[in-house]
Structure 1
């Protein structure tokens, strides 16, 4: 691993260690970033530095933009998500500049974190697939325990729509989903 990539990953981790939200004795977003890197390495072992950095920085400083500061409902949620993507991109791009990455690499990483080009850009799509795998592996069961069957079905369908065909096929291979949820991942 290059020294500059390690410097950026370490800086992302240092930022996420400041998360006041704790899970299993660790800051929530530190754990999330590490899970993203683990899944990125597993799903895309030949990922570029930029994609690896984007995965680790996916939720950098997420707690700084409170959902409660945005209106209730879907429009407020989407505005919050967009603002989060912009914030994550700005933080990570700044860390990459400090580590000596060139403008093209910095900009590419920012596009990934803002989800610009999903379904059209292979790296943006790879990041989205990793995000979906992390959700399904680590966060889906706790989410499902708190929501109705209809809400669960809706979230699974939205998750599947975000993924590539390859990602959806891999979900069917790796997860033992009930038939109604598995149907969302079938082409």
Structure 2
């Protein structure tokens, strides 16, 4: 009999599998195959979560150890049905971008909450997943009190951006803007996130931009 976690995870991945955008990626056997992009993204998120919580000489005790079911589900649900809310549905301005991102967070959180409730989780457990998807508690970190699991999720999202999206992303903007975005991304991450980011293989140009952003 499936557990609530297994049911919720299956529902999230079934939604990812509906993404019409397909990419070539390594399958379970290692061979390249065509997969829905959001399923590929979710796999990357889970892989970086596992790296994040693995033992490290520089990881704090709050970072190390097993991830909760709520964190694993929230990490998996970060882009839940995101393709249904395209960026071009909002103004091509900074305010429009933030409006789009905020709408996505709220929508994805509600979708995840519903899937968790339907899978058998209680109201408090389903809300915890939704709160993590919304990244509630992250801004408190500016004063040193960020929710530890929210910070892990933010780290993981930043790591996937740097590993899987940055090389393509940087080609679309001028150097000054890319460096500014990299600095902002770096500022969102914990020490453990920085440690993992510096291990990501990058091409010559992206690596040069990262070094400029870090002042190296």
The normalised TM-score by structure 2 is: 0.78
Structure 1 unaligned blocks of 5 or more? none
Offset of residue 145 of structure 1: 2.8
Offset of residue 174 of structure 1: 4.6
For 1:67 and 1:107, locate their aligned partners in 2 and report how far apart those are by CA, in whole Å: 26
How has the CA–CA distance of structure 1 residues 66 and 73 changed in structure 2, closer, same or farther, with 3 Å as cutoff? same
Q: Deviations over 1:29-57 (max 9, x none)?
A: 11111111111122125110000000110
Aligned counterpart, 1:167: 193
Offset of residue 183 of structure 1: 6.2
Offset of residue 87 of structure 1: 0.9
Aligned counterpart, 2:47: 38
Offset of residue 132 of structure 1: 0.6
Aligned counterpart, 2:174: 148
Point out the structure with max Rg over C-alpha.
2
Structure showing the higher helix proportion among its residues: 1
Task: Report matched runs for 1:74-89 at 5 Å.
Answer: 74-89=94-109
For 2:199 and 2:37, locate their aligned partners in 1 and report how far apart those are by CA, in whole Å: 28
Confirm or deny: 8 A CA contact 2:52 2:193 kept in the other structure. no
For 1:137 and 1:173, locate their aligned partners in 2 and report how far apart those are by CA, in whole Å: 10
Confirm or deny: 8 A CA contact 1:156 1:181 kept in the other structure. yes
Which deviates further from its counterpart, 76-85 or 176-185? 176-185
How has the CA–CA distance of structure 1 residues 99 and 185 changed in structure 2, closer, same or farther, with 3 Å as cutoff? farther
Task: Report matched runs for 1:82-161 at 5 Å.
Answer: 82-118=102-138, 119=141, 120-161=146-187
Task: Report matched runs for 1:41-56 at 5 Å.
Answer: 41-45=50-54, 46-56=66-76
Offset of residue 179 of structure 1: 6.2
How has the CA–CA distance of structure 1 residues 117 and 185 changed in structure 2, closer, same or farther, with 3 Å as cutoff? farther
Aligned counterpart, 1:10: 10
Offset of residue 116 of structure 1: 1.1
**Structure 1 SS opposite 2:198:** helix
